[in-house]
Amino acid sequence: FQRLAKVLTQWWDSDDERRGEHGQKRSYDVEGSLSILLEEFILKVAPEQVAAILEPLLARMDRHPRKVSSVLQGINRPMFFKN
pLDDT of residue 38: 95
pLDDT of residue 36: 93
pLDDT digits (tens, 9 = 90+) for 7-66: 999 998 887 666 655 555 667 889 999 999 999 999 999 989 999 999 999 999 999 999
Q: Cite the DSSP H helix spans in the chain.
A: 2-18, 28-42, 47-58, 65-80
Angle at 9 between CA 41 and CA 68, to 5 degrees: 65
Cβ-count burial 5-17 (b if 16+ within 10 Å, e if not): beebbebbeeeee
> Span 59-81, mean pLDDT?
87
Q: How far is CA 18 from the centre of its chain?
A: 19
Q: Which residue has the higher pLDDT, 68 or 17?
A: 68
pLDDT of residue 1: 93
